[in-house]
Amino acid sequence: MSTGVEVEHGRGDWQTYGDLSNYQQGKYQIKTFNKVSPVGLARFHADQYDVRTGEDEAANAHAILLRSHKLQEDDVPNTVRAIARCGAGTNNIPVPRMTELGIPVFNTPGANANAVKELVLCAMLLGSRKIVDGINHMKDLGSQGLARERVEKDKAMFGGQEIKGKTLAVIGLGHIGAMTARDAEGLGMNVKGYDPGLSVQSAMKLPRDMQLVDSITTAVSGADYISINIPYVKGEGGTHGIIGKDVVSHFSPNAVLMNFARGELVDSDAMKEFLDSGDGKYISDFPEDLLWDHKNTIILPHLGASTEEAEDAAASMAADTIRNYLENGTIKNSVNFPDTNLEDRPKETVRFTVVNKNVPGALAAITDAISSEGLNIVQQINHSRGDIAYNVCDIDTTKHDGVVEFKNVQEKITMVEGVISTRIIYGKAGTGYAKNIEGEYFI
Ligand SMILES: NC(=O)c1ccc[n+]([C@@H]2O[C@H](COP(=O)([O-])OP(=O)(O)OC[C@H]3O[C@@H](n4cnc5c(N)ncnc54)[C@H](O)[C@@H]3O)[C@@H](O)[C@H]2O)c1
Ligand SMILES: O=C(O)[C@H](O)COP(=O)(O)O
């Protein structure tokens, strides 16, 4: 990807940060937590990437890929440029802190939605027929040699209902909720849904006859089945315990709540009270202390996204996203950084990116520093989101024979008030990254 011109900049050794013994110059280092699909990891070509799946190998990583691992700040060395969640929920990542550190966090919208939807449909059937009780009963009978003798007689103990004609309420009509609503209608159910942030993309996937309502309580009132498919967000205005006493008080006595989103969305005390008082059911892939062994619950391991297809799709999307960021500076599907996509880098230019606090004057300081070194910006993009701003500039190298002196300009820009990090995306993979850490320059 070189233009033939040598760009003189810091080597990105990060010597300050300890052990370099496993650091291969010239390759991006990818650290994984959890078991990430090898199909996805294969997107990191071995000539440019070194993927580390072992424990204690985070030192000097350039990017992190993970699933549900609860990421701590200590897992994130200063060399890390980006983090990707192979999946939807990013509540296991300290996203606000990563934003402060200038690190984009990505997820993989929709990549595992079909898998979750299928498990929700399965849960609905588990909730309408006594399938689990029946299986356990047959095992008991079998172990006593009575299975064939009692099978017809005992079936009367396990009668159920059909889902056709029943009402399903879907809370959250994103990738999973919209698919669930559509397929439930296909199975002959009446569907209603609630989502104050419904996207156009999701709205287009909703079944034609579904009823959109304007509150959770309206959605759950009179519903036979309820599926919650929203993110878990801590703090004020968040979704912690959103299915609380007030909402549960609107449940029909026999309602089945399916929670394949996050355990913390449901207030366990309120749910237990509801389950104690009638025939309602709770089906989830998140075990909560008060609920996991209740007679009216069916609790699975966290299996929603655990299909081969979903694991491959989520890991592939995460790997492509990280590659696009590391190799081109492009941001897509970030939960804390603005979408940013500059046209392909023109020939004979060098790409330079800056992450800075979204404060007045930073952009001007960056462009001034570049022009004061006699360098010309050919194309540029600057986007912001909340407290963070991101710039990508392509800088002309044609007027420089041999060496373009970029070292000084990078240091100058990195040390501008409010700048967090800068990157020269050129030459050897993994080099050219500089950070302003509390007023000190690291490269
Ligand atoms: N069990 C699993 O393995 C598994 C797998 C994937 C996702 N999930 C969970 O499911 C959640 C949803 O996944 P998705 O892919 O559909 O995400 P998504 O972002 O496509 O959809 C989420 C939807 O919820 C809506 N929403 C947010 N807050 C809401 C509220 N208070 N009330 C109603 N709607 C609200 C949003 O507007 C959005 O449309 C994830 O955040 C994750 O926590 C679990
Ligand atoms: O948010 C998600 O995508 C799911 O909860 C899947 O989690 P997992 O990748 O750990 O199975």
For 338-395, write each residue's pLDDT tens digit.
999 999 988 888 899 999 999 999 899 999 988 888 889 999 999 999 999 999 999 9
Digit-coded pLDDT (tens) for 130-178: 999 999 999 999 999 999 999 999 999 999 999 999 999 999 999 999 9
Centroid of ligand 2 to alpha carbon of 89 (angstroms):
7
pTM comes to 0.94
Digit-coded pLDDT (tens) for 245-262: 999 999 999 999 999 999
Centroid of ligand 1 to alpha carbon of 239 (angstroms):
11
pLDDT band at 404 (very low <50, low <70, confident <90, very high): low
CA 132 and chain centroid, separation: 32
Strands 167-171 and 225-228: parallel
Is the distance from the beta carbon of residue 68 to the nearest atom of ligand 2 less than 6 Å?
yes
CA–CA gap between residue 168 and residue 330 (Å, rounded): 40
> By percentage, how much of the chain surpasses pLDDT 90?
78
| Helix 308-328 with 113-128: angle, nearest 10 deg | 150
* Ligand nearest the Cα atom of residue 203: 1
Burial 228-247 (b: 16+ CB within 10 A, else e): bbbbbbeeeeebebbbbeeb
**Residue 213 CB burial class (10 angstroms; 0-12, 13-18, ≥19):** middle
Centroid of ligand 2 to alpha carbon of 260 (angstroms):
10
Between 35-39, 306-310, 395-399, the lowest mean confidence (pLDDT) is in: 395-399
**Other beta carbons within 10 Å of 252:** 17
Centroid of ligand 1 to alpha carbon of 176 (angstroms):
7
Beta bridge partners of 250: none
Strands 190-194 and 211-212: parallel
Res 1 pLDDT > 90: no
Interface ipTM: 0.99
Alpha-carbon separation of residue 98 from 75, 194, 364, 384 (angstroms): 12, 31, 25, 16
Strands 440-442 and 433-437: antiparallel
Between 34-38, 58-62, 335-339, the lowest mean confidence (pLDDT) is in: 58-62
Res 36 pLDDT > 80: yes
Residue found by looking up tokens 């606090």 in the block: 357
Provide the pLDDT for residue 8: 41
Short-list 353, 364, 367, 259, CA closest to 304: 259
3-state secondary structure 364-394: HHHHHHHHHCCCCEEEEEEEEECCEEEEEEE
Centroid of ligand 1 to alpha carbon of 230 (angstroms):
3
What the block records as the tokens of 336 is 């804390």
What residues line ligand 1, using a CB cutoff of 6 Å? Answer: 87-89, 109, 112-113, 116, 171-177, 194-199, 202, 229-232, 239, 242, 260-262, 285, 302, 304-305
What the block records as the tokens of 251 is 């449940």
CA–CA gap between residue 284 and residue 341 (Å, rounded): 39
Res 43 pLDDT > 80: yes
Provide the pLDDT for residue 60: 81
What the block records as the tokens of 181 is 């609503």
Res 22 pLDDT > 60: no
What the block records as the tokens of 428 is 């050897």
Per 3-state DSSP, the chain is made up of helix, strand and coil in percentages (nearest 5) of: 30, 25, 45
Domain architecture of the chain: domains with CATH: 11-109+309-442 (3.40.50.720), 113-127+162-299 (3.40.50.720)
pLDDT band at 400 (very low <50, low <70, confident <90, very high): low
Res 88 pLDDT > 90: yes
Res 126 pLDDT > 90: yes
Res 330 pLDDT > 50: yes
Going edge to edge, which strands form the sheet with 225-228?
A: 211-212, 190-194, 167-171, 225-228, 256-259, 281-284, 297-299
Sign, Cα dihedral of 193, 194, 196, 197: negative
Q: In this structure, what are the phi and psi dihedrals at residue 373, rounded to the nearest 5 degrees?
A: -90, 10
Average pLDDT of the chain, as a whole number: 91
Is the distance from the beta carbon of residue 307 to the nearest atom of ligand 2 less than 6 Å?
no
| Helix 175-186 with 113-128: angle, nearest 10 deg | 50
Provide the pLDDT for residue 173: 98
pLDDT band at 3 (very low <50, low <70, confident <90, very high): very low
CA–CA gap between residue 81 and residue 101 (Å, rounded): 10
pLDDT band at 407 (very low <50, low <70, confident <90, very high): confident
Res 191 pLDDT > 60: yes
Is the distance from the beta carbon of residue 306 to the nearest atom of ligand 2 less than 6 Å?
yes
Short-list 265, 283, 307, CA closest to 114: 307
Is the distance from the beta carbon of residue 67 to the nearest atom of ligand 2 less than 6 Å?
yes
Res 12 pLDDT > 70: no
Provide the pLDDT for residue 82: 98
Digit-coded pLDDT (tens) for 104-114: 999 999 999 99
Beta bridge partners of 299: 284
Provide the pLDDT for residue 5: 47
pLDDT band at 402 (very low <50, low <70, confident <90, very high): low
Centroid of ligand 2 to alpha carbon of 324 (angstroms):
22
Provide the pLDDT for residue 57: 64
